[in-house]
Structure 1
């Protein structure tokens, strides 16, 4: 039969280990809290300062929605990925139509299925919004003028 002191020592050891684990977790939580406090203070300071530099806004950013093309709109209003696709479609190589695999190569991407399908999706979105046309299945070219 185990001794009472032995049982108490084992229990004490187990509780000490739990306390050490909780102290480590508390230290991590306190560090995370301090980072959040510092971030809030920094943002508050930045927002309180008068802005003396006015950044020139860009019409689109990566991941933004492709706008429907209207009269006078240039490709520069598109997100950078879409703008690059339109530039390839408008190039000499794109005049007769470009397959998505060729488009991937022209953009400097690997012609692997994941990249090609991503480009196909973007090209179809450009067609839907009046920036390009699909001359036959899987072959795209740029539009000479805005549609509609």
Structure 2
């Protein structure tokens, strides 16, 4: 026949294990609750910001397509605009295209080499992407497929 103390010790051990398991579960739930509350607060803040912006009259919102907005990498070229408004990588491309070597037009491989980049497909494609963006925004022209030069009007 088991002793009363032995039975109590076994029961105490079982309850201690249950308490430890429940504490771990409570900690896990507390962490999940904190994450959910954080996500909820971000959504509430976002909704409030959107409501604030939508409450402004339409005239208060600038035309983002044609203006040189801070942070815009390649704004649309406007008469008198200087290349200094461009991000440094784009400024370098425009400078090379305006140079004597770029006047007749340059292929992206030549342009990459003139920029001091490694002439590998990844770098050439990066230059091609930037050159095409300069064409789209009026800073350069594509004189033949794959051949770019600076726009004469933007040479200032």
What is the CA distance between 1:20 and its match in structure 2? 1.1
Structure 2 gaps of 5+ residues are 1-5, 79-85
In 2, Cα distance between equivalents of 1:131 and 1:56:
24
In 2, Cα distance between equivalents of 1:41 and 1:143:
45
Report the TM-score when normalising by structure 2.
0.53
Which protein has the larger Cα radius of gyration, Structure 1 or Structure 2? 2
In 2, Cα distance between equivalents of 1:41 and 1:15:
38
What is the CA distance between 1:100 and its match in structure 2? 2.9
In 1, Cα distance between equivalents of 2:111 and 2:13:
74
What is the CA distance between 1:86 and its match in structure 2? 5.5
Structure 2 counterpart of 1:131, from 126, 133, 141: 141
Instruction: Say how many residue pairs are matched.
Output: 121
| Structure with greater proportional helix content | 2
Structure 2 counterpart of 1:100, from 93, 105, 111: 111
Structure-1 residue corresponding to 2:26: 19
Within a 5 Å distance, the mapping from 1:65-144 to structure 2 comes to 76=77, 84=91, 85=93, 88-98=96-106, 99-105=110-116, 111-112=117-118, 113=120, 114-123=122-131, 131-133=141-143, 140-142=147-149
Contact 1:86/1:131, CA 8 A, preserved across alignment: no
